[in-house]
Structure 1
Amino acid sequence: MEFFTMLDWSVIAQIILIDILLGGDNAVVIALACRNLHPNQRRKGILWGTAGAIILRVVLVAFAVTLLQIPFLKFVGALALLWIGYKLMVDTGGEEGHDLQAPDKLFAAIKTIIIADIVMSLDNVLAIAGAAGQVDDQAHQLGYIVFGLLVSVPLIIGGSRIVLYLIDRFPIIVTAGAGLLGWIAGGMMLSDPGVIKYFGAGVEAYSLVAGAVGAIGVMALGEIVKRSGKKA
């Protein structure tokens, strides 16, 4: 009990709030990646995917400032996110694939969740690190980050379950989720230090346009590929 009384709960509350506000897209990715798993595997996919993403997010906090200054790292990450959005949209699984419980399919879902979370969390971890930076003792800052993220895990898992429930009933959400990843990727590209250095700081003003192009592009290409696959 003494441990809990020593904690600065205002800092922890900020970290949890940041993770909830900025982590909504993570719940969408988890749901999209796990939607084609057998119902018995969905829980494993959500739990292991979330656990891996949270652990790597903690590691990212320590290097976030340095990583974000590497030219074209965010640009490459954005390209990866576009690819993930496209693959999640066109990978409909089908009835036969849905009933399989192959371990490699579960591993693929977990891998997708972790990769997408790493890419999307580069900016998020800076906000989390900033909240933890209010603690004077630097040795305890990482502890606050870990504790705050762990508390938010049930919220992320709960959010992904809700999205999965909705996807089963409204498949159009898959297209919307892929579009969300395209939107995030488009904005990331124009906030990359290498892109800003090459085109100038004014390029960031077109982030909304880039996001819209990314979202429409992913959804349109995914829809075209899905329809051509059905015709074939």
Structure 2
Amino acid sequence: MMEALSNPSFWVAVGQIILIDILLGGDNAVVIALACRGLPPKQRKMGIIYGTAGAIILRVILIAFALALLAIPYLKLVGGALLVWIGVKLLVPHDEDDHANINPTDKLWGAVKTVIVADLVMSIDNVLAIAGAAQGAGDHQLFLVIFGLVVSIPIIVAGSQIVLKLMDRFPIIITLGAMLLGWIAGQMIYTDPGVAPYVPAAKTWEYAAAVVGALLVLIIGKLMQRRGRAATPATGN
């Protein structure tokens, strides 16, 4: 374990996981707030802690399965394509009504259940992205995932408002985060066990695929942003 902690690539992957969780975890912070807002003030903190703890445990289990499944030929290919789409969606403005179906409750365990169930439904992007970021860590993959989540979840819960304000003030953070997902997607696709026999094994080519993935997300995202802006006046008539 100490060997993993002294490896620079381990800390790069941890940084990727933290950034992914902050970028894709904003929705989860909103869900926690919405689910717990109906609780008495004294129980709100407990609802947030228990709900977040349950969500973390569930996500670690999901990611453990995802890490195993990514060894199956062509599943990384599908996961990489999904990550490209998730990265593109990150660049396109969100619908304001996305959380309209999250109902508050005045019961502690009801709020905890709401947080866990909502997080499960919303976790596919986080699970895929984190599993992709952890690839290549060998025997330390699950430890890397748990370490990254433990560090990032408190940041999301405690500092979600600060993070959201920073994103509003510096949109480049969102763009870079979306491109990071494209980078991971490119690596996932290139290292898919079904694709590996047909491509060179050199790391240079893997990085080239990662760059293509990052640029693909940026180009598609920007095109969709432009299309959305062009369509806005038409819908107002």
Q: TM-score, length-normalised on structure 2? A: 0.62
Q: Which amino acid aligns with 1:183?
A: W
Aligned 8 A contact 2:66 2:127 in 1:
no
Q: 1:29 aligns with which of 12, 15, 24?
A: 24
Structure 1 residues 29 and 60, CA, compared in 2 at 3 Å: closer, same or farther?
Answer: closer
CA distance in 1, matches of 2:222, 2:93: 11
Shift of 1:90: 1.3
Shift of 1:184: 1.1
Q: Which of the two has greater helix per residue?
A: 1
Structure 1 residues 161 and 58, CA, compared in 2 at 3 Å: closer, same or farther?
Answer: farther
Contiguous gaps of at least 5 residues in structure 2? 38-47, 104-113, 232-237
Shift of 1:171: 2.5
Q: 2:83 aligns with which of 77, 81, 84?
A: 81
Aligned 8 A contact 1:23 1:156 in 2:
no
CA distance in 2, matches of 1:171, 1:131: 31
CA distance in 2, matches of 1:60, 1:150: 11
Q: Which amino acid aligns with 1:102?
A: A
- Matched with 2:219 is 220
Instruction: Verify: 1:116 aligned to 2:143, yes or no.
Output: no
Task: Give 3-state SS (helix, strand or coil) of 1:71's partner.
Answer: coil
CA distance in 2, matches of 1:149, 1:216: 26
Q: TM-score, length-normalised on structure 1? A: 0.63
Q: Which amino acid aligns with 2:211?
A: A
Task: Give the percent of matched residue pairs that are identical in Structure 1 and Structure 2.
Answer: 31
CA distance in 1, matches of 2:180, 2:35: 22
Shift of 1:226: 1.2
Aligned 8 A contact 2:31 2:102 in 1:
no
Q: Which amino acid aligns with 1:168?
A: D
CA distance in 1, matches of 2:158, 2:131: 23
CA distance in 1, matches of 2:59, 2:124: 10
Q: Which amino acid aligns with 1:103?
A: N
Task: Give 3-state SS (helix, strand or coil) of 1:181's partner.
Answer: helix
Q: Which amino acid aligns with 1:130?
A: H
Q: Which amino acid aligns with 2:17?
A: G
CA distance in 2, matches of 1:158, 1:128: 32
**1:78-126 deviations in whole A, cap 9, x for unaligned?**
1111111111211344xxx27x85126999x846751122212335287
CA distance in 2, matches of 1:102, 1:85: 23
| Residues 36-51 of structure 1: pairs in structure 2 closer than 5 A | 41=34
CA distance in 1, matches of 2:193, 2:25: 29
Q: How many residues align?
A: 202
Structure 1 residues 131 and 53, CA, compared in 2 at 3 Å: closer, same or farther?
Answer: closer
Q: Which amino acid aligns with 2:71?
A: Q
Structure 1 residues 62 and 76, CA, compared in 2 at 3 Å: closer, same or farther?
Answer: closer
